[in-house]
Amino acid sequence: MYTAEAVRLTRHGRTLVRDVTLALKPGTITVLVGPNGAGKSSLLKLMAGETTPSAGRVVLEGSDIRTLAPVALARRRAVLPQSADVAFSFRVDEVVRIGLIGSQPSATARIERLLERVDLGGFSERGYDTLSGGERQRVQLARALAQVEVMDPDKPRYLLLDEPTASLDLAHQLLVLREARAHAAAGGAVLAVLHDLNLAAMVADVIAVLVDGALLTCGPPAEVLTDATLKAAFRIEARINAVPDGPFLLPQTVVQGAA
Amino acid sequence: MTATAAPGTLAGRRASGRPRVAVGLAACAVLAAVAFIGALAIGPVSIGPGRVLAILAQAFDAPMEEAGRALRERMVVLDIRLPRAVLGLLTGAGTAMAGAVMQGVFRNPLADPGLVGVSPGAALAAVAFIVLGMPLFAVLPDVIQPLGLPLAAFAGSLVTTMLIARLAMRGGSMSVATLLFAGLALGALASAGTGLLVFISTEQQSREFVFWTLGSLGGATWPKVALVAPFVTALLVGAPFLARGLDALALGEAEAFHVGVPVERLKRWSIIAVAAGVGACVAAAGVVGFVGLIVPHLVRMWLGPGHRVLLPASALLGAAVLLAADICARMLAAPAELPLGVVTALVGAPFFLWLLLRRRLIG
C-alpha cells in the first residue's frame, strides 16, 4: 500500500492540498480528476516525495517516505512528470537509460524494447530535442517504464503519472492507458492525473475527485461520475450517459490493437 | 574518427554523427599526451620528443656523469619545463572538468565557475594580498613567500563560493536560480572591492595584479604544483561519481529525484568540488578564460552530453588545449611571454563565435 494520510500542503499562506487521505492498492488504477488548480499535481508531488507535506504523511509499505533515501524510494515508485524538457542534446536512448537505475550500461536491447512499447521503435539514436511534444512525452513514459522494470519484482511497484495523455493523439492516449492497465495487472498500482473524464471512466478502478485541494469523493467510476458530482466539481450542468445529437466518439469504442 | 570505421555497429549512429565513445576518449588522451610532450620539447632550447621521453624515463635516476648539452637539456626539461607542464595539465583538466560540472548543475551550457564567485572572489583576495598583504608576508621564509598569492586567492574563492551557496539555501534546499543571482551580486561586490584596491594601489602593484588576472603558468614551481594537485585531483577523481546524477539532472531537479538521485547532496558536492578545484587552479595560474566554456561544449558536440564521457573527455581535452595555449604564449612573442588568458581568449572567443554561427548553441 502507498498511502497519503491526511496530507496537507500550504504554500505562501494558501492551502493547496487539504487533509487528503488516499490509498493506492496494488493491482488497481486510481485516477485523480478535478478542475484546474484543484491541487491534483500538488497531491501527486506529495505522493512522489518531491514536496514534503505541511501536515500528515505519505506512507509506502509501512515507512514514512521522508525516512527513505531517494534511491530506495526510486526502487519502489516511478514518476512520469508533466514537463518533458531535457537540457543539452541527449539522444532518446540516453534519456530512457536514465530510468535504468544501477543497471549495466549495455542495456541497448532493453531500451529498444521499451521504445517499441511506446511506439517509438527505431527512435533510440534520434536527438531528444528534435522530437515533437507527443514523442517526447512517450520517451519520458519509456523512461518511467524502464525504472519500473528494474524495481524489485517481489514487491508492489508504483507508477505515478501526471497528465500522461496531455499532448498525445487518441491512439497514443490509449497506448498509455494500456500500459497503465498492464502495470496494474502485473500487481503494481497506478496513480494518474487525467483531464478526460471518458478516459478516466474507462481505465480507473477508483476515481478521486479533487476540488479546492480537498477530496470531494472517491470510488468506482460508476458511483463517482454523476451529474451531481460534475456540477459540484466542475460547475457544469451535464448529463452522464446522455447521447448528443451530432457525431461523437468515445475512446471506449476503439478496437484495441487495430491502431 | 569518422563514423565509417565499423559499418555494422555504427550504421545507426550516423544520424547523430557521434563516434564511438572509446575512440573519442582515446583521441582526447592522445591529444593531451602530445601537448604534454610538446610543452616539454618546445622552447628557446628545442629538444626532440625522443630525448624528452628519455629524460623523463630517467628522471628519478641519479644524475650520471652527464656534461655539457645533455645536462643542460635534462635541467631544462625536469627543472624548468616539467613543473610548468604539470601545472598546465592540472589547470587545464581541472578548469574544463569544473566547467562541465557547473554546466550540468545549472543545466545550461553557458555556466562557468565564475558564476559561483570563484574568479571574482579569488581576484579580490589576490589584489588584497598584493596591495595589503605583501609587506606582512615579506618576513616569512623564502619557500613560503611565493605561495602567499595563490593561498590568498584560493581562500578568497572558497569564502566567496561558500557565502553564495549559503545565500542560496532555503529550507534545506539550494535554489539554483538564487545561486545564480547571489553569485552575480556577490561577484559585482567583489569586483567593486577589487576596483577600490586597485585604485589605492601603486603602479607596480596594479601592474602585478593585472598580469595575475590575465593568467600565466610562468611562475610554476613544484610547491605551486603541490598546492594545486590535491584539489584538482579530488575534482578529477570525484566528479565521475557525479556523472549519473548530472545526467538525470538534465531532466530537471524533480525528475532527477524521481529516479533516485539525492539532488541536494549532488548540488552541494558539485559546488564544493568545483570551488576547491577551480579555486586552486585560479590561485596558481590566474584567471584563464574560455577553457571551461569551450572545451565541454566541443566534447558535447562531438561525443554527446552524457557526463560519464563528457567529464573525463573534457579533462583530457582541457589539458591539451591549455598546454597548447601555453606553448603559444611562450613562443609567439619570444623571448617575451604573452599572458595565457590573452591567448585562450584570442583563440577561444573567435572559435566560439564561429561555432555559434555555424550551429545553434543551445539545444
Angstroms from A248 CA to nearest CA on chain B: 37
In sequence order, which ranges of B215-339 are alpha helices (DSSP H)?
222-238, 243-249, 253-258, 263-285, 291-303, 307-331
Chain A: residue whose CA lies nearest to B11: A125
Kindly compute the dihedral angle of the four CA atoms of residues B273, B277, B278, B281, in this order, to the nearest 10 degrees.
180
pLDDT-derived band of residue A133, with 50, 70 and 90 as boundaries?
very high
Q: Give dist(CA A119, CA A139) in Å, integer.
A: 9
Q: Do A70 and B260 touch (CB under 8 A)?
A: yes
Tens digits of residue pLDDT in B47-56: 888 888 988 8
Domain at A2-76+151-253: CATH code = 3.40.50.300
**Domain residue extents for chain B:** 19-358
Chain B: residue whose CA lies nearest to A105: B308
The vertex-B62 CA angle with B60 and B66, nearest 5°, equals 115
Q: B281, B236 in Cβ contact below 8 A?
A: no
Residue A258 three-state SS: coil
Tens digits of residue pLDDT in A4-56: 999 999 998 899 999 999 999 999 999 999 999 899 999 999 999 999 999 99
Task: Tell me whether B109 touches chain A (CB under 8 Å).
Answer: yes
Task: Tell me whether B305 touches chain A (CB under 8 Å).
Answer: yes
Q: Do A88 and B248 touch (CB under 8 A)?
A: no
Q: Give dist(CA B55, CA B85) in Å, integer.
A: 15
ipTM: 0.93
Domain at B19-358: CATH code = 1.10.3470.10
Q: Give dist(CA A83, CA B253) in Å, integer.
A: 11
Is B139 a residue whose pLDDT tops 70? no
Which residues of chain A neighbour B107 with C-beta distances below 8 Å? 87-88
Site from B108, B246, B259 to mutate, A interface, most A CB atoms within 10 angstroms: B259
Site from A42, A73, A98 to mutate, B interface, most B CB atoms within 10 angstroms: A98
Is B18 a residue whose pLDDT tops 60? no
Measure CB to CB from residue A88 to each of B15, B244, B305 and give the nearest one: B305
Is A98 a residue whose pLDDT tops 60? yes
Measure CB to CB from residue A70 to each of B251, B262, B308 and give the nearest one: B262
Q: Do B304 and A90 touch (CB under 8 A)?
A: yes
The vertex-B253 CA angle with B252 and B255, nearest 5°, equals 65
Is B13 a residue whose pLDDT tops 90? no
A38: its cell numbers:
484543484
Question: What secondary structure letter does DSSP report for A119?
Answer: T
pLDDT of residue B6: 36
Among B244, B239, B298, which residue's Cα sits nearest to residue B272? B239
pLDDT of residue B157: 85
A vs B, Cβ pairs < 8 A, gives 86
Name residues 13-42 of chain B within 8 A of A (Cβ): 13, 15-16
Q: A199, A177 in Cβ contact below 8 A?
A: yes
Q: Which residue has the higher pLDDT, A219 or B155?
A: A219
In sequence order, which ranges of B215-262 are alpha helices (DSSP H)?
222-238, 243-249, 253-258
B147: its cell numbers:
605561495
Q: Which residue has the higher pLDDT, A115 or B169?
A: A115
CB atoms inside a 10 Å sphere around CB A104? 7
Is B10 a residue whose pLDDT tops 90? no
Is A111 a residue whose pLDDT tops 80? yes
Angstroms from A242 CA to nearest CA on chain B: 41
Question: For chain B, what is the mean pLDDT?
Answer: 84
The vertex-B259 CA angle with A97 and B275, nearest 5°, equals 95
pLDDT-derived band of residue A190, with 50, 70 and 90 as boundaries?
very high
pTM, two decimal places: 0.87
Tens digits of residue pLDDT in A211-243: 999 999 999 999 999 988 989 898 888 888 888
Tens digits of residue pLDDT in A64-90: 999 999 999 999 999 999 877 898 999
Task: Tell me whether A125 touches chain B (CB under 8 Å).
Answer: yes
**Domain residue extents for chain A:** 2-76+151-253
